[in-house]
Amino acid sequence: MRSAADFRRVFREGRAVSTPHLIVHAAKRGDGGTGRYGLVVSRKFGNAVARNRARRQLRDAVVKAGGIPAGLDSVIVAKPGVQLRVAELSREICKIMEVEWVGKGEGGEVNGR
């Protein structure tokens, strides 16, 4: 996801789930297309180097978790002041997607993006 309108829609219409490292907002897509995601890492997280590293780790964690279920738009927000590890993030994202959305019949198959 890249447009501000998509991010606003997910924040406005979606549900949020919080973990020790992340807040994941997700909303159903009207067209039921492939799952998409956007990342938010605020300035509170640190300087540009720290924020970019966090984004890279989050992208890697989403890929390792199996992607975002089809039919969902998700915004993943990194909580400031937390050390990120790709393995932990991947487990958290996978658990959230399986339990909160796929398990409740709101999402579809998980894709690779």
Does residue 63 belong to any structural domain of this protein? yes
Q: What is the CATH classification number for the domain harbouring 8?
A: 3.30.230.10
Number of domains in the chain: 1
Please check the confidence at residue 101 and state whether its pLDDT lies above 80.
no
Does residue 16 belong to any structural domain of this protein? yes
Does residue 110 belong to any structural domain of this protein? no
Does residue 71 belong to any structural domain of this protein? yes
Please check the confidence at residue 93 and state whether its pLDDT lies above 80.
yes
pTM over 0.85: no
28's CB contacts (< 8 A; 6+ apart) are 71, 72, 73, 106
Mean pLDDT of the chain: 85
Q: What pLDDT is attached to residue 104?
A: 54
Q: What are the structure tokens assigned to 107, written together?
A: 């999402």
15 by DSSP, 3-state: which?
strand
Over pLDDT 70: what percentage of the chain?
A: 88
Please check the confidence at residue 52 and state whether its pLDDT lies above 50.
yes
Which range of residues forms the domain containing residue 80? 4-101
Please check the confidence at residue 113 and state whether its pLDDT lies above 60.
no
CB 82 within 8 A of CB 46: no
Does residue 113 belong to any structural domain of this protein? no
